[in-house]
């Protein structure tokens, strides 16, 4: 016959085992949840429009850095490829909807844009075009030759 102490000791061990097993299951569920969300490419940083505006500002900073080093902006024909070749960007940038950002050199000033969710000129809401000059219309160009 076993004493009550040994029975209590085994029950405590069982309780600790199952508590750790549940904790491990909960941890793995959380890991799988986060991995699943990242695979679905869920954007935690805001709406696609906000992300595109932030990207346009980042592209303008990269263009300013390129200009500071090379004393010129990329031509319209070159688009943003010189920024990649010079190491200012890791790869060609795409907007949150999967379309490449547009670029043109107009009157010596770089203009970068996104055509929105539909990838076509014009539109309203998420389909509206976004241009970097819309956010800095009244600001002077900082990098001059």
Residue with tokens 């959380």: 30
Residue 67: which of 99, 116, 105 has the closest Cα?
105
Element (H, E) at 130: strand 130-131
Q: What is the pLDDT of residue 7?
A: 63
Q: How far apart are CA 95 and CA 52, in angstroms?
A: 6
Mean per-residue pLDDT over the chain, rounded: 82
Q: pLDDT tens digits, residue range 36-68?
A: 766 766 555 568 888 899 999 999 999 999 999
Say if residues 59 and 80 touch (Cβ distance below 8 Å).
Answer: yes
Q: What is the pLDDT of residue 139?
A: 42
Query: Token pair 């241009």 is at which residue?
Result: 131
Would residue 113 be called left, alpha or beta, if left means φ above 0 and alpha means ψ between -120 and 50 degrees? beta
pLDDT of 70 over the 90 cut: yes
């Amino acid at each position: 016959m076993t004493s009550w102490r040994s029975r209590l000791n085994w029950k405590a061990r069982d309780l600790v085992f199952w508590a750790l097993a549940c904790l491990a299951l909960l941890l793995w569920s959380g890991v799988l949840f986060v991995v699943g969300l990242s695979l679905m490419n869920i954007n935690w940083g805001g709406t696609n429009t906000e992300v595109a505006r932030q990207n346009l500002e980042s592209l303008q900073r990269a263009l300013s850095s390129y200009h500071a080093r090379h004393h010129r902006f990329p031509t319209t024909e070159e688009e943003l490829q010189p920024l990649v070749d010079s190491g200012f960007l890791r790869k060609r940038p795409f907007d949150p909807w999967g379309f490449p950002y547009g670029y043109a050199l107009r009157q010596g000033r770089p203009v970068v844009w996104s055509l929105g969710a539909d990838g076509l000129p014009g539109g309203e809401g998420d389909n509206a075009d976004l241009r970097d000059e819309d956010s800095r219309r009244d600001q002077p160009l900082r990098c001059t030759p």
